[in-house]
Amino acid sequence: MKYWFLFVAFLSLAPVALRAEDEDEALHVTQRATVRLADYRFEPSTVTFKAGETAELTLINADTMLHEFVVPSFHDMTVELEINGVIAETLGIVELELAPKTTAVLRFTPEQAGTHSFSCHAKKPKDHLAAGMTGTLMIR
Ligand SMILES: [Cu+2]
């Protein structure tokens, strides 16, 4: 819950639609995936990206309850995060809380092959992790 206020700040800035002034610096995305969060699961629950190429991961909370996207192994990864047109570059983002009916886009360049688990730790109205809300990010 500790990042909740940051998330609200992003949403309140949404109409401004800030963008980097220098579009040339925009990441060149070569691979995309979309994961839907609903019914205590990630769909699909496994996402695969290639190392060394910029990836775009879109998270859609299609549900009527809050869900989280927690990926501890991102602690040292630079991630460009876009919510409602607002873009922020972050280092070490490991937890996102997505309010119902919201979408977040993450862009990053995985440097090496590996397997990263992600999960939802929301507790209401029941424990989402215990309900099996986990997934795997494969970098090959
Ligand atoms: Cu959840």
Report mean pLDDT in 10-residue bins for the chain, 140 residues. 49 44 66 98 98 97 97 91 91 91 96 95 97 97
Give distance in angstroms: CA of 92 to centre of ligand 1. 21
> What was the pLDDT predicted at 27?
77
Residues flanking ion ligand 1, Cβ below 5 Å: 67, 120, 122, 128, 133
Q: Report how far ligand 1's centroid is from the alpha carbon of 26 (Å).
A: 31
CA angle, corner 113, sides to 112 and 115, nearest 5? 125
pLDDT score at 93: 79
Q: Is 108 helix (H, G, I), strand (E, B) or coil?
A: strand
Q: What is the pLDDT of residue 23?
A: 45
What's the 129 CA to ligand 1 centre distance in angstroms?
7
CATH topology of domain 4-14+29-139: Immunoglobulin-like (2.60.40)
Q: How far apart are CA 45 and CA 134, in angstroms?
A: 7
Give the per-residue pLDDT at 71. Answer: 94
Structural contact between residues 136 and 33, judged by C-beta atoms closer than 8 angstroms = no
Q: Could you give the CA distance from residue 44 to residue 41 in angstroms, rounded to a whole number?
A: 8
Q: What pLDDT is stored for residue 84 in this prediction?
A: 87
The two three-digit tokens of residue 76, written as one number: 């040292």
Please give the distance, rounded to the nearest whole angstrom, from the Cα atom of residue 96 to the centre of ligand 1.
11
**Residue 119: both structure tokens together:** 């999960």
Ligand 1 centre distance from Cα of residue 31 (Å):
25
- pLDDT at residue 94, rounded to an integer: 87
> Residue 16 has what pLDDT?
41
Question: What pLDDT does 3 receive?
Answer: 54
CA of residue 112 relative to chain centroid, distance: 19
